[in-house]
Every structure is written in C-alpha cells, then in structure tokens.
Amino acid sequence: MKFVDEATIEVIAGKGGNGAASFRREKFIPKGGPDGGDGGRGGSIYAVADRNINTLIDFRYARLHRGKNGENGRGSDQYGAAAPDITLRVPVGTVIHDADTNEQLFDLAHHGMQVTLAAGGQGGMGNLHFKSSVNRAPRQFTYGKEGEQRKLRLELKVLADVGLLGMPNAGKSTLITRISNAKPKIADYPFTTLHPNLGVVRTSPSRSFVVADIPGLIEGASEGAGLGHLFLRHLSRTRVLLHLVDVSSVDPDQDPVQEAANNVRAIAEELRKYDADLYAKPRWLVLNKLDVVSDPQDVQAQLCRELDWQGPVFAISALSGEGTQALIWALQDYLDEEKGREMVEQDKKEGIYMPEDPRFDESRGDLTDAGQ
C-alpha cells in the first residue's frame, strides 16, 4: 500500500430539520391546539484513531465528507428523525489542523480517541413549544440550524520511540532490518527509502520499542531539497534520535573522518532550521560500516575530537550485525528510564505521587522492597 502521510479534506455537517406549525384537528375535538413537532438534528462528522490503519491514503481520494440533514417536524407531535453521524477512521498519531488558519485542532495520539470535526445543526422547534395561557394558537416555529463546515488538513506523525537520522545510503534501512521485523527496500545507491518504515525491536517477551526509519536528509532539506524534509515530522514524537554516520569513503582522495564530520554538522543544522524542539532531542552518534574500516577505534576517536562530541557514541556494522546488540540494550535501558520518569511526572499531576513513602526510590522512579 502506498504510504500517504498528509491529506486535505472538507467536512460539512448536516442541517437541522425545521420545526412544524400544525394544529390538532380531529372529529369531536374542537380547538385541539398546536401539535407541531421539532426538527431532527443534522448528522455530525467525527474522527476516531484506529491502530489498524497506518496511512491516510483513503482521504487522498475521498476529500469531501457531507452529513445528511435532519428530518422536518410533523403534526401530531411527531418529531423529525436525527440524521446518522459519519465516523472517519484515521491512523493513530494523526494531527488535524484547520486548513485556513493552520491552527492545530486535535492530536489523536491514542487508539480509540474520538473528536468532533463538524457538529450537526440543531433541529428547529415546532409550534407546540410556543403555546401559553395568552397564546393558545401559536403559529411560530423555528428553522433548523446549519451544520458546521470546515476545511481540514490531516497530518500523520508516526508513533515511535527511536528515530533514525542520517544522509542517504548511511545504512538506516539496513540497521532497521537487522534489529527489527521491518523489511524495507535496500540497495547500494542513495534514496532507496521513499517513505517511513516502522520496526518493532523486541529485547525480551515483555520489553520492546519501536524504531522509525525516514528517507535520508541532504543539505538544504529544511528548504525542501530531497525527500527527507517531508518526513521529519515523524521524528517529533520519538524520545531519542540515532544519527547514523557512514565512516567509509569511496573516494580515496577524501578524508573519511572529515567527510563524516561535515555530514554530521550538515544534518544537525538542517534539524535546527526545521524545528528547534527536534534539534533539542537527545541524539546518539552511531558510526556505521566499520567492517570496511581498517582501524575503527582510531576513526571513532578522531571523529569525536573533530566534532567535540559529548553524547553517547556507538560503533556498529549494520550489515554484519557487529555492535548492534549493545546498541539495542542501551536503547532499551534508556527508554525504560524515560518512561519511568514520565510515569512519575504523570503521577505528580494526578496527585498520587508519594515521595515520603520509605519504599520510594527517587533514582529509579518506582517503589522498592525497602521498608516492607
């Protein structure tokens, strides 16, 4: 299935039915009085996040979604029927913007979340609502209200814990194939990845994390060069970025360390230009293709000195799998710690955080056996 991560749609909710102005007329019942019913509500349009959908391709072709109008009220106290609602199923991680103002309206980050895109119009009131002691035969009624109408832009941000970042042909697709169940296209030329790929890395029966691979970035990506800028949004939800660097060089006249350092700086600058929050995310340096380097330790030391790199550094060969196991376990431990910290913060917001409990270990963010 073709991956589509952005679509523009228009939603038009149904109009409410009109109220009725009617009077009861039956044999032997003079002056029966008003009996006009209310109009039915117009159909509303909702969006619900569904984990079984992974693309917005359906909305690329079905751009207009219109709800039906409610029925008009009738005599004999008969109310008009409400129109059926429309529910649009979207992938988990879909962000909905107003296409005219670019304002973010909803973020469907969890399975089952439902939001109202356009509310149906309320039905009008029949004349039975207007009767009183001084107005025995009201002829007033109200018309149904128009439903809401919006033009919306749907944007999919995939949900992943780890994002792969790097130049084209840095080995991102090879790495995600090595460590997860993802099977992206791999070739020996650049730009093989044309859409994001997700892979689940399972370190034990109860522990796992999700890795996202996006098309490689090139210099000028923040201004629209290449394909990578179109998918940088998919890294916004990740907790850590793995910056893959190809330390091999096919050009014998080019210093591989200097070339790798220039690539790292170029991508970091593209991140900074694209989104300051994305640039501020934890970023680990992963030196790839060390199986074709004569002295991997020397290359790693030179590159760290050249970049003045202070963060985590891993040396791997995605093709052979060398060094990938240590990287996986380091990622799992880091993500477990981050998730534990987020749970503590959430408990604080909900008022169930108990730092005075002697069993609470602040460094671990959980309850220990101490004090039991």
290 DSSP 8-state letter: G
DSSP structure string for 85-139: PEEEEEETTEEEEETTT--EEEEE-STT-EEEEEPPPPPPPPGGGG--SS-SS--
Cα angle, residue 55 at apex, residues 157 and 83 outer, rounded to 5° = 105
Output the known binding site for GTP.
Answer: 166-173, 191-195, 213-216, 288-291, 317-319
**Strand arrangement, sheet containing 162-166:** 197-204, 207-213, 162-166, 240-246, 283-288, 313-315
Backbone angles phi, psi at 221, to 5 degrees: -65, -35
Which residues, 6+ apart, have CB-to-CB distance to 318 below 8 Å?
171, 174, 175, 178, 244, 288, 289, 324
In the numeric block, which tokens belong to residue 218? 């090139």
Q: How far, in Å, CA of 228 to CA of 236, rounded? A: 14
Output the known binding site.
Answer: 166-173, 191-195, 213-216, 288-291, 317-319
Beta strands in 227-363 (DSSP E): 240-246, 283-288, 313-315, 360-361
Q: How far, in Å, CA of 303 to CA of 261, rounded? A: 6
Output the known binding site for Mg(2+).
Answer: 173, 193
Q: Closest Cα partner for 36 from 141, 108, 163?
A: 141
| Surface-to-core class of residue 22, CB atoms within 10 Å of its CB (0-12 exposed, 13-18 middle, 19+ buried) | buried
In angstroms, the Cα distances linking 349 to 109, 113, 343, 352, 353 are 19, 21, 10, 8, 8
Q: Closest Cα partner for 196 from 212, 207, 178, 173?
A: 212
